[in-house]
Structures are given as structure tokens and as C-alpha cells.
Structure 1
Amino acid sequence: MSEAESPDSLARMRGLIWLVAAAFFMQTLDSTIVNTAVPSIAHALAVPPISLKTALTSYVLTLAICIPASAWLSDRFGTRRVFAASVLIFTLGSLACGMSQSLSQLVAARVLQGIGGALLMPIGRYVLVRAFGPKDFVAAMSTAGIPGLLGPVVGPLLGGVLSQYASWRLIFLVNVPVGIVGLWLNRTHMPDFRGERRPFDWIGFILFALASGMLLTAAETGGDGDYRNAGVAAVIGAVCAFAYWRYGHRARHPVVDLTLFKVRSFIIAVGGGLCTRLGTAGLSFILMLFLQVGCGWTPTEAGLMIVPQAVAMVLMKLLIDRILKRHGYRRTLFVNTTIATALLACFALFDATTPWWAIAILMFAYGFVMSLQYTAMNTLAFVDLPPERAAQASSVTSTVQYLAISFGIALSSWLLAVFLGDHHHDPAAYVHGFRIAVLVMAAISLIAVYVFTRLRHDRPLRRQVTTPETAA
């Protein structure tokens, strides 16, 4: 029986729940708060707004690279020490972001933030699993997850308000007091769990990091027009990816378990999710540029447009289980991906004269559909796996998700840059570029419709799987 499995376990472990909740809140808040402040940050750092994509992708890519190391670190050094280090690193990274004087400094600080942020959610979920028994875990996870759901709702609006009425630097500095409280709670309430010690796959980790970093570098430098260096980075990244593919099948403890890709439902979930996120992940970034630079909206007004999407994603959580149990994965994902693609294409109908309520309605509908999409894709990866492989699958799916998000942001910003040309200060160019970019992004997402038809038959939801992405 676990330490917390008793009638008053939630009350006795309230400090631990609040600690994990604060970590979830910081991570989800930071994933959404930056988008609305992009034009303000670009103006302060004297760079084109489109250049801020690097500050977003560097953070997400760091999450993807470092997440696989979280399990080994907690087993080797204990959850209390590693969680404290992750909170401290994230807080110091936030402080460095708020003090940045150039884009390169901001990117370096975002990488530091990502190193800390990569460990917050995996270790937080792991500790709740160990601290609470099966009877209390769902209640504990639901309580801890509430602030994580609020992050995407509060983040865009808070980012807009702070960048408009105070300073964009405060969107990072707000994490500092939360981090200090988190360090205090960690010292007094975090249990020190350890698992079986095993060797860390340093070779695989280095190959995986190089492959991911070089391929993203190729995408970003190519988007800036430096095709020669982009080609070199792409070749290095491809070689490292191939080397890991060969190496990963032979490693005893691979950092990314490739044998999971032998399961048909898993590879379809990952492949379909990759195609979906490549087309949709960058929408928030280019939408903020469209509204603020193209349409002349204030940061606060633009931030308000993200709130309907976040609210709809939370509301859809009430219906997801029933939809999947009634219609199964194949039918649900085929229909829902088609609807999501159509709604994404509808953003091309907007121009500088579009009323705010029309944008809000489409954002609500889009959020409603994407909440079901994310949860269905994420849970599909687990339906044919035994419970003992769930932890490995969770690490792999989280890694692929963040990789896809980073490449999706790079792709959308590259499309916008291509259609902008040299007109970085022309509002009409941003409107035109946005409309064409979302059509191309919708076409890419349409590939996922075909991928999900490769499921052999409809299968119901066998067990509820909680995923933080439905809120992000």
C-alpha cells in the first residue's frame, strides 16, 4: 500500500499536491504567455517579429531532448533533489529571460528554462503515482492538474496585459516568486523516491540531441534564406538520426525505445500526431503577428482571442471519454481531423476588417475540436501496450510531441517569412502572408487524415489516460 492511501490522504499530502500543481502551472503558463508578447519583445530587442520564432522553438526543442533523461535522473539522484534542481533551473532561466538584452541572450535563457521545465511535469506525475494509491491517484492528479488547465487560459491574456501596460520582461519574471515558493514546498513536502539504478545511454542521448538540434537548425536557417548552411545542418541531422536508428535497436537501455514502433497503433498515433502538429503547432505564433502587426490590435486584445480556445479545450474534456467509447479511435480521429483541418483553413478568411466576435467564435470551435484531437492521439498510443511499457511510451510520445511542436512553429514562421518577402513592416503583407500560410498548414494536417485510416478497425477507449496537452 502506498504512503498516501488512506481516507485523509489528500488532506495530509496537500503540500505535495500544491507543489506539483505549481510546477504544472509554471510549465503550461510559460508555453502560452510568450506568444502575445512577441511584437513587444521584437521591438525592444530591435529584431523583426518573425525572428522571435527561435525563442519559442529553442524552449520546446530543449523540452523534447531532456524529457527522456528525467526517469534516469530521478532514479539516480532521488525525486526531491532532482525536482528542486529543475525548479531552480527553471526559475534562474526565467530570471535570465527577463534580463536579456539581445535575441541571442533570450534564446540561451530559454534553453536554460527548457532544461528545468523538461523535468517538472514527468517527475511531478511520477511522484503522484508513487505517493498515492490507485484509489486516490485520480483525485490527486485532478486536483494538481487544475492550475495546469488555468495556465493556457491565463497565459495569453496575462502576456498581453503585461507587455502592453507594464513590461514584456515581467512575463518571465512572474515565475521567480512562484519558483521560490516551489523550492520551499519541495524541501518540506516532496518525498524522496528512487527507482532501480541503470546505466544512462549517453551515446544515444548525444545522437538524439544532435539529430533533433541539427534538423531544427536546418529548418530555421532555411527559413532565413541561408540554404547552404541549412543543407549542411540537414545532412548532419539526418546522419545522426540514422545512426541513432541503427544504434537504438541494439542498446540495452535506449534513451528512446524504438521497439515501441513495432506496435501498429503506437506508430499510427505518433505518425498522425506528428502530421497534425506540424500543421497546427505554429498557429498561435503567426496568429498573434497577424492580429497585432497586420490588424493593429493591442497585445491585450490579441491575448483575449486565445482565451476562447483554452476554455473550449477544458470544456471538451467532459465529453472525450464518451465520444471515444461510443465511436472508437478510427472513426473519431478520421472525422475530427477532417473538421480540424477545415477549421484551420477557415482562418484564411480573416483580414484586417474581420470583427473580433467572428475570430472568437472560430477560436472556440477550433479549441473544442483540437482538445479531442490531442487526447485521442495521445491515448491511442497506449491502447495496445502492456502496463509495464506505459512509462517508456509516455516518454517517447512526450518527446515526439515537443519535437513536432518545435518543427511546427519553425514551419509556420518559415511560411509566413516566405510570403512576407522583404515587407517586414507592412501590415498588409502580414495579412496576406498569414492567409496563405494557414492554407498550406491545413494541407499538411490533411495528411494525418490518411494516416489515421490505417488503423485496422475501430477500438474503444480501454482506460482513461490523463494528458496535460489537452490544456496546452
Structure 2
Amino acid sequence: MSPPAKPGPLVLAGLVCGPFVSMVDSNAVNVAVPEIGREMFASLSTVGWIVSAYMLGIGICLPATAWLARRVGTRRLYMAALVAFALSSAACGLAPGIEALIGLRAVQGIASAPLIPLALTLLFGGERTRGARPPMVAGLLFFLAPALGPTIGGLLIATGGWRLIFLINVPLIAIGLLGIRRLPADPPRAESDRTPLDMAGLLVLGLGATAAIYGASVITGGGADVRWGWLSALAGVALLVAYPFHARRTPHPALALGLLSTPATRVAVLVSVVASVVLFAVLFLIPVFVLDVQGLSPLVAGLVMLPQGIAMGVCAGLGERFVSAWGLRATVATGMLLLAAVTGLLLLVTPATSPWLLALLLAGRGVALGLTLQPIIMGIMDGLAKDDMADGSTVFNVAQRIGGSLGVAGIAAFYQARLPQGHAFHDTVWLLMGLSLAGAVLVPLLGRRAAADPAPAFAGDQGRSRRGVSEP
């Protein structure tokens, strides 16, 4: 079967719109927290719930994405999530007080949760995804979005205040909806797709994801509640670890784990989590350094991060070509080793370092991450049958969200602990180098290529075929 045709510009805009606005919005709001507190006469601890409520909403809804996609249809659910995100964004922008804003941010998080896994499912569309390749602009915008958040947030605050961060989402999503309407309608559901709701599984996943993500946000923020953050994170991880035992014993699990049915795919997800931790830890570390140590503005901090996102997006397509020429293992190993080396150059950074030199170093990290994350994502998703896409992309996103959040929380805690010694920045860079090298050590366990051979069905998956990164 030939690969599916590439989407047109308007359709592509719709597919990228959801993940882009949700990721940009998440990071832009972090920049706006001080101004929101001043305008609404709220304490910093209270305003911090604007961030936490959003993450809690994601944790509650993300595990249910695959089941909802099977019941409602991927295209239909994606459009509904976009509409809900636009409406909740508009309501956030018009919120009269801090309590209303916190509640609306939770609703916005619930609407945001399905956007990334569903967009991945639609971008890799077709009866089979083997050979399908999303356009490079999609990879560019996906990787650029986290870096753009602080920059856009600073610009919008300077232009018209923090409310613009939310209100700007409405026209962007309106354009995206025009594109999604051009996609083929979801096929009629077969009787075999009308699976009963695994309420126990959704409860375990929802509570686990919510507790883990909330705990990670508390730890990253520091303060007096860090111990409760660790307790919440550990409880969440325990629940998530317990879920596979439940899935093996139920005929219709809420989230099928067939993507993790082979050692190679488990390693691929683990390496992608390590790379994401190294990426997002720097998104935490560099703004802290630029703002607190160098004493520069939030706008400068955002501009410093921009080249890394651009380099990641541009090199995503390069990573695909390297996989075709060298194979998955060699490409990812090159990316992880380059990531360790360029991250090590941050040891040369001092308070007097020019922001432009810092931006150049981060661009080098973007090249390395583009050679790492995009090939792994392609390796994980390539070969998944159409019916497996919702479960596979949801499992991948749950692992990315929770693993990345907990990893960054641990690095933030390490940074805070090293502050009294006066070398927190450089000690944290050493830790990130070590993580990059650890990821490189795992690479030989990856499959030889991105495409995969059929893997045995995971118990509880109803015999649906599962594919992923090929075995060694």
C-alpha cells in the first residue's frame, strides 16, 4: 500500500494547530504569573495554581484519550478538543478573578490533553503508517513551540497584557478548524469497537498521572511543599506501575500497552524520555540563569531559547535522512553523543557570557536533539496499524509527559540543593551530560531500523496487532 498523500497547507495548519497552541500557551503562561498576581492581588503561591491546575487537567484526561478516540472518532474528538480549548482560552482571558482563572485553567488542561496524541495519530494517518512521513514544517513547529512560549509570552505581555496570551488562541484555532474540516470523516464504528468502559483502569491511570504531574510541578516550583510534592509524585508512579497488572487481567483495558510489548520499543520510549528530560531541563535551567544570575529580562531569556527550537525543527528532517542512510541506532547514538558534548560546552558559560553566545550553544543542542527525538518518534510510530495509533500515541505521550515532568522536577530539586555551594548551574550541566551519555549507552538495545515487524499482542489487547521499533 502506498503511503498516504501529504496534507495540504490548510489541513497541515489544523493538524499542527492544537499541539502548537497548547505547548506555547503552557510555557507563555509561566512568564505571566508575576503580572497576573499583581493585577489580581493574589499571592505567588495562589497564582502558582494557575500552572498546577492546567497540569492536573492534563493528568486527568490524557489517559482516556485512546478510549475516547475509539468511541468518538479521532477527527471528531480532535475537533471537539480544539473547540473546548478555544472556548476555555477565551474564558481565561476574560476571567474576573483568580479563583475563576484557576478553575478555567483546569478546564483548559482537560481540553489540551488529547491534542498532541490525536494530532500525531492524524499526521501518521492512513490505513497503515509504514512509510508515512509528516512534512518537515510539522516537526519544526512541534519542536519550536516550547521554545517560543516564553518569547511570545513576553511580547504579548508587553503589547497588551497577560490576557492576550489566552485570547490569541481563539483566532489561531479557528483557522485550524477550517483545515481539520477538510480531513475525511471518521469511518463508522464497528461493533468490535464498542468496547465497554474500563472505569477501574481509567481511575488508576487518571489518579496516577495526575498525582505524578502535580507532584513534579510542586517539586519544580520549590518552596515549603516540596516534601508533599515528592510524596504525590511517588504515589502517582506507584499507581502507574500497577496499571499493567490490571491491563493483563481485563479483556478491554482502558489503554492497551501493546506499544511496550517488546524490549526494543520499551528502550526506544526510555531513550526518548531521557532526551526530553535533557531538553526540558535546559528550558528550566537557562531562563533561571539568564533572569536570576545575569539579571536580564524575560524577553531576552525567551530569545536565547529560540535558536534551539529552530535547530531542532530543521534537523528533524535531517535525522530522517540519516536513519535511511545509517540506520536508527547509528543516528540516535550520534545525536546523544553530540548532545552530551554540546551540553558540556555550557560549562564554559559564566555570568558575563553574552546571551548571543549562549543562544549559539543552545542551537548546537537543538541539532543534536533533532537527530535524536525525531528518529525515535518515527521509529516508535512507524508500522503501527491504523487501529493501534490512538493507544500507541497515548502511551508514548503519557510516558513523555510524566517521565519528562518527573525528570525535570528531579533536576530542579538538584539545582536548588546545589545553590548554597555556589556552583548550581555547572553542577546541573554535569548531571545533564551524564544523562545524555546514559541515553547513548542504551542505544545499542534499539532496533536496527525505524520500521518494525509485527510484535506479539500484549495480554488484554484483544489480539490487535502491535508494532514498534524493531527488535535487535
> TM-score scaled to structure 2, two decimals?
0.77
Q: CA deviation at 1:265?
A: 1.0
- Looking at structure 1, the residues matched to 46 and 257 of structure 2 have their Cα atoms a distance apart, in angstroms, of 34
Assess if the C-alpha contact under 8 Å between 2:55 and 2:109 holds in 1. yes
Match of 2:71 among 69, 76, 79: 76
The match for 1:203 is 200
CA distance in 2, matches of 1:102, 1:289: 28
Q: Which residue of 2 aligns with 1:159?
A: 153
Aligned equivalents of 1:257, 1:414: Cα separation in 2: 33
Task: After superposition, give the CA deviation of every residue in 1:37-90 in whole Å (9 maximum; x if it has no partner).
Answer: 566556667889899887556645654653443343233234565334312321
My pick for the range that moved more, 369-378 or 55-64, is 55-64
Distance 1:350 1:369 in 2: 19
Once the two structures are overlaid, the 10-residue window that deviates more, 92-101 or 48-57, is 48-57
Q: CA deviation at 1:340?
A: 1.1
1:240 matches 2:239: yes
* Counterpart position of 2:325: 326
Give the Cα separation in 2 of the matches to 1:186 and 1:315: 25
Q: Are 1:298 and 2:297 matched, yes or no?
A: yes
What is the CA–CA distance in structure 2 between the aligned matches of 1:149 and 1:275, rounded to whole Å?
16
Deviations 1:131-179 (A, max 9, x none): 899999758x667777656645754432222223432332222112333
Letter in 1 for 2:166: F
Alpha-carbon distance in structure 1 between the residues aligned to 2:445 and 2:126 = 39
Partner of 1:424: none
Shift of the 392–241 alpha-carbon distance from structure 1 to 2, 3 Å rule, reads closer
Partner of 2:28: 33
Q: Over residues 376-405 of structure 1, what are the superposed CA-to-partner deviations in whole Å (9 max), with x where a residue is unaligned?
A: 332333568777645533221122112222
Q: Which runs of 5+ in 2 are unaligned?
A: 453-472
Equivalent position SS for 2:113:
helix
1:258–1:128 Cα change, 3 Å: closer
Alignment of 1:58-69 (within 5 A): 59=54, 62-63=57-58, 66-69=61-64
Change (3 A) 1:433 1:24: same
Give the distance between the partners of 1:209 and 1:185, measured in 2 at CA: 31
| 1:468 matched residue in structure 2 | none
What is residue 255 of structure 1 aligned with on the other side?
254
| Residue in 1 that maps onto 2:463 | none
Q: Hey, what does 1:288 align to over in structure 2?
A: 287
Residue 274 of structure 2 aligns with which residue? 275
Percent of paired sites with the same residue: 28
Query: In 2, are the aligned partners of 1:74 and 1:193 still within 8 Å (CA)?
Result: no
- Measured against aligned partners, the alpha-carbon deviations of 1:217-265 in whole angstroms (never above 9, x if no partner) come to 4445554344653465356435423432321222223233334433121
Number of aligned residue pairs: give it: 447
Distance 2:339 2:85 in 1: 34
Contact (CA 8 Å) 2:10, 2:176: kept in 1 or not? Answer: no
Cα gap change, 1:410 to 1:133, in 2 (>3 Å):
closer
RMSD in angstroms over aligned alpha carbons?
A: 4.2
1:394-405 maps to which residues of 2 (within 5 A)? 394-405=393-404
Q: Which residue of 1 aligns with 2:164?
A: 170
Confirm whether residue 459 of structure 1 aligns to residue 448 of structure 2.
Answer: yes
Match of residue 118 from structure 1 = 113
Q: Which residue of 2 aligns with 1:438?
A: 429
> Displacement, 1:407?
1.9
1:179 equivalent in alignment to 2:173? yes
Greater shift, 264-273 or 249-258, is seen at: 249-258
The 1:59/1:276 distance shift into structure 2, 3 A limit, reads farther
User: In structure 2, how many angstroms separate the alpha carbons of the residues matched to 1:259 and 1:184?
Assistant: 34
Determine the C-alpha separation between the residues in 2 that align with 1:51 and 1:338: 42
Task: Extract unaligned runs of 5+ from structure 1.
Answer: 422-428, 464-472
Superimposed CA distance per residue, residues 299-351 of structure 1 (whole angstroms, 9 cap, x where no aligned partner): 22222112211221122133212322333233333332132123234334323
C-alpha separation in 2, matches of 1:282 and 1:47: 28
